[in-house]
Amino acid sequence: MTTLEVPESHLRENPYDIAKEQLRRVAELFGVDPNLVNVLQECKKAVVVSVPVTMDDGTIHALEGYRVTHNIARGPSKGGIRYHPDVELDEVKALAMWMTWKCALMGIPFGGAKGGIRVDPKKLSPAELQRMTRRYTSEIINEIGPEKDIPAPDVGTNASVMAWIFDTYSMNKGHSVLGVVTGKPLNVGGSLGRLEATAHGALYCIQEAVRKRDLRMADLRVAVQGFGNVGSFLAKFLAEQGATVIAVSDSRGGIYNEAGLDMAAVLAHKQETGALEGLRGAESITNEELLLLDCDVLAPCALEQVITSANADQVKAKIIAEGANGPITPTADEILDDRGVLILPDVLANAGGVVVSYFEWVQGLQEYFWKEDEINSKLRDITTRAFNETWRTAEERKTSMRLAAYGLAVRRVADATITRGLYP
């Protein structure tokens, strides 16, 4: 039995330390009791499991998996599962904490959770991926459930992975449990609109920011880093709204055209070749170069910590919409804020996914499903309300959108904790 080797992590700073420091800053600004901070900065539960997987060649690799619950003061915990070489416990803890704030900001009755396996899913065959997922589910089966902790897709996972988790859990329970996981395929209890939900939420936030800044969508030049589920749909939606998408990128690199990319051609090329490179009429750029392009809106939709103190002063975008979790380090955040860059923080800009996951969970429990226009209308209402609450708080307290968003969220979780009290 061997352990798969993983490359050096892309994380430059400890994400859990960042999350706790953000909490302390917000608590000081919003007057949250230090005793409550002592509770909220810790994760309720963190489980580390070994995931042995039989590979196609007969060898067995032992992988490390995680499932973390940060807080359940406002309801069962909710959060994605990611398969990525850089997954580590402190990253999962940070992501779980950010999920708590995200759910609270959006007014959803969930706490935060996260999970993952430290593996490169691109190096696994479909059969290996399924065996790994089913074994991981079996290892954490006592930690998850529709009234306890509800997983969802994240980086490196998709609807098929969620279907395997749903099936494994249901087979162990002896009956189908639709509410155990969200982001499922439509034919096994998934929700219309879930696939595009995170991108739709980001789009609604950008549209509101454009209105607040008296700009026009048709005048916007946009660069999107990351061409997975979030980035590809966001680029497509922005182009449909009249914006000029000048650059997009995936994990291998990006493409750029100052006059604008034809998103239909980009999507077709990506689907046909599996890559963005080689598209006629576009020049190749690196992910690092994309972040520094002269544009109005920059949407980092890939991984954490891509904008740091090393490149923040070179970022030319006027608005940054965080499609990924934690793409800007705290030091970079301050640099950008001092330069007047409007940052739409992750807990607001990419919350569309968890909102429609909530809708899917409700539909699964009721076994009654809604129409897609109904789902998108509800998503727009919730996202717009959260944006305006955050904007108003930022203006009243003369602070950034990030601190305003976190402040609203932390206060809501703190209030729920006070109301419930400590047991015993």
Q: Where are the beta strands (DSSP E) in 214-270?
A: 221-225, 244-250, 253-256
317: its two tokens: 């975008």
- Annotated catalytic residue within 20, 102, 114, 318: 114
Q: 3-state DSSP call for residue 64?
A: strand
| 424 prior amide bond cis, ω within 30 | yes
Taking a C-beta distance cutoff of 8 angstroms, is the pair 140, 115 a contact? yes
Helix (H) or strand (E) segment spanning residue 82: strand 77-84
Catalytic site residue 114? yes
3-state DSSP percent of the chain in helix, strand and coil, to 5:
50, 15, 35
Measured CA angle at 16 (ends 412, 52), to 5 deg: 115
Measured CA angle at 260 (ends 259, 261), to 5 deg: 140
Cα–Cα distance, 172 to 61 (Å, whole number): 24
Taking a C-beta distance cutoff of 8 angstroms, is the pair 163, 341 a contact? no
Cα–Cα distance, 349 to 26 (Å, whole number): 19
Rg of the chain over Cα atoms, rounded to whole angstroms, equals: 21
> Of 185, 191, 186, which Cα lies nearest the Cα of 378?
191
Q: So which residues are the catalytic ones?
A: 114
